[in-house]
Amino acid sequence: MNYFIQAARQQGFSVPLHALRGVAAVIVLLGHLYGRAAEAFPAVQFMPLFNGSAAVTFFFVLSGLVVGASLAKNGLSQASVSLYFHRRFFRIMPLMFCTVTVGGLYLLFIDPYLRYSLNPKEFGEFSLLKFIAGYVGYSLKANPPIWSIYVEIIASLLIPLMLLFGNKASHIALALTACILISLIPLNFKHHWNFYIFSFYAGLSVLLWGRWLKDLFMSFATPLFWVLLTILVAGFYLARPLTSAGYGDLWIVYWETLCIAPVIGVIYYAPERFAFLQARLFRYLGDVSYSLYLTHSILLVVLLNLVIGFMGTTSMAVVVYCALAICSCFLVAQISYRTIEMGGIRLGERLRRPPKPAMELL
């Protein structure tokens, strides 16, 4: 008996978590918009409300649960694992290829002539090698958010192995220990991917303890239920800005993961308490979340150069830039979702279908 497989088959798709993925993508967008505005309009005071780094940790924990559960429902046969990798490729990579190509061409032919660059100078010079490496997220020069897709790719390769260790409690403990030890390896792995393997495993482990935690929370009075969830969310969201924890700090990854994993577990197993997240707006945000995440960075710098080129750094320019950026990012995300994302998924489905015999075509 595999505990992950057994638990995954008892639970369906979570609309509230799908919606929250969209909310997290919006937080990343607004965080990057704040950074661009603060860079270009130093005279205007901005309050840093948007913790995009925490939102990315949320993505990783959620992916561990959702991606792992999706594979677990189909079992761990050779056919199901092959199908899993095929689907992951056509889910992630088509949009990745498109945005890296656009970003790379922008860096080569347009970016050098503009005032504001896609990347800080400390990122180094762009090169053909970095262009190619960007197609798997190893180099983030062509599109800065793709670093997290590199981490997702590594985690996607490891999730089937994590599930294999679900047959015994001792094996689950061994897998957890391995994830912790990997995060502690004193080597500078690219994008610190080894830090986040713990986040993915924590998300996957929701299948083991999430129902118990949900029952515990549901036993509390409704006000206490929401107070406890609020404390966990606040601990998750505020820790990084309050402590000034940086990109390479392992402890903040553990803290954010341990705060948000219980919240995800309760939402996953008690969706009725979060019915407001099933509203059409939230469903829409969930649908376009991946496109919004991967397309916004290039748009923000293009629009910044255009607005300042026409309007300068006036107060009105700030308003125009922010409004134009938000509207444009959602418009492009919608188009990208319907054409590139869904088109890639449909292409993958067509390629999986066996060709029809010649006689059937006659």
pTM of the model: 0.96
The sign one gets for the Cα dihedral 109, 112, 113, 118 is: positive
CA distance 221 to 346: 46
What number is the average pLDDT over the span 79-87? 97
pLDDT at 359: 56
Residue 123's pLDDT band (cuts 50, 70, 90): confident
Residues 94, 347: contact at Cβ < 8 Å?
Answer: yes
Cβ atoms of residues 274 and 11 within 8 Å: no
236 CB contacts (<8 Å, ≥6 apart)?
Answer: 54, 57, 58, 255, 256, 259, 260, 263
Report residue 358's pLDDT band, with 50, 70 and 90 as the boundaries: low
C-alpha span between 240 and 62 (Å, rounded)? 19
Give the pLDDT confidence score for residue 177 in this predicted structure: 98
Amino acid at residue number 259: C
Q: Which two tokens stand for residue 51?
A: 């913790």
Give the CA distances from residue 61 to residues 14, 143, 228, in Å, rounded to whole numbers and listed in that order: 14, 23, 19
Tell me if 60 sits within 8 A of 200, measured CB to CB. Answer: yes
- What percent of the chain is modeled with pLDDT above 70? 98
Q: Pull the structure tokens for residue 152.
A: 């997702």
The model's pLDDT over 282-317, given as tens digits with 9 standing for 90+, comes to: 999 999 999 999 999 999 999 999 999 999 999 899
Residue whose tokens read 């190893």: 138
Please tell me the predicted confidence (pLDDT) of residue 357. 65
Instruction: Using the predicted structure, report yes or no on whether residue 338 has a pLDDT greater than 60.
Output: yes
186 has a pLDDT exceeding 80: yes
DSSP 341: I
Total residues belonging to the chain: 362
Q: Which of the four pLDDT bands, split at 50, 70 and 90, describes residue 355? A: low
Among 311, 180, 177, 319, which Cα is nearest to 254's? Answer: 180
Residues contacting residue 352 through CB under 8 Å, at least 6 positions apart: 83, 86
* Per-residue pLDDT tens digits for 245-257: 988 899 999 999 9
Distance CA 143, CA 294 (A): 8
| Identity of the amino acid at 198 | F
Residue 361 has pLDDT above 60, yes or no: no
**What is the distance between the terminal CA atoms of the chain, rounded to a whole angstrom?**
48
Q: CB count, 10 Å around CB of 176? A: 16
